[in-house]
Copies of this chain bind each other. A is one copy, B any other.
């Protein structure tokens, strides 16, 4: 499994900050759980704090994601916590119908594996329900998804190496970075190999990362070449 997230949050173009959106928990030899978040920052920070606190209080009423017996149960816990967090803040009545009413929604991509079971990948909605990836839908996106989607749709192949998947993720993020101010460097990358119960590769990709620079610059040139390799339109046809 491969995970990539940006780090930009904004509340208007004049209020931009850098916050981590990728988090993970490891129990050596037993489980690996990774989360990426999109949406309202107060909601996602609260979600992560609640999940984190419970991992340190095993006797609590609500189960910890480190104690849940399956990834499905982990998704359930995260979904329920996410929904509670959003509902607790939701505006009601007149306040909610104001044209500029703030939106406290957030969504989550959850990936992980528990010993003895297959790795799992879920997309969790603000309502707390979720869907699971499958061979037909092998990846999920959350947040500002559209600009980067065409290259994922066309470039993804199920037998790709981790190096190729990383390259594809960088090309996809670069397309979004070039089009939309709400997505910004640095990027976080994490790679997970089945049955290792720990990330085997983690990296923060900053603006001066030489590999990312070579992808970002090389892609423009490569796209132009790809474009010119296509047959020309005949105006007289």
Contacts and interface: CB of A to CB of B under 8 A. Distances in A.
Interface string A151-177: 101110000001110111011000110
Nearest to A210: B237
Nearest to A191: B235
Contacts of A229: 218, 222, 225
Interface stretch (A51-59, A113-121, A123-131, A142-150): A142-150
Interface in A161-204: 162-164, 166-168, 170-171, 175-176, 178-179, 191, 201
Contact of A230 (B154, B214, B227): B214
Nearest to A150: B175
Contacts of A215: 230-231
A232 interface: yes
A226 B220 CA distance: 10
A233 B167 contact: yes
Q: How many copies, total? A: 2
Given A149-B179, A237-B211, A167 B232 contact: yes
Most chain B CB within a 10 A radius of its CB, from A166, A178, A191, A235: A235
Contacts of A61: none
A97 B153 CA distance: 37
Contacts of A19: none
A223 interface: yes
Contacts of A176: 150
A219 interface: yes
B163 A235 contact: yes
Contacts of A166: 233, 235
B227 A171 contact: yes
A141 B220 CA distance: 21
A231 B210 CA distance: 11
Nearest to A171: B227
A60 interface: no
A182 to B, nearest CB: 12
Top 8 A-B pairs, shortest CB-CB distance: A146-B146, A222-B226, A97-B97, A150-B175, A226-B226, A166-B233, A163-B233, A218-B230
Interface of A: 97, 146-151, 153-155, 162-164, 166-168, 170-171, 175-176, 178-179, 191, 201, 211, 214-215, 218-220, 222-227, 229-235, 237
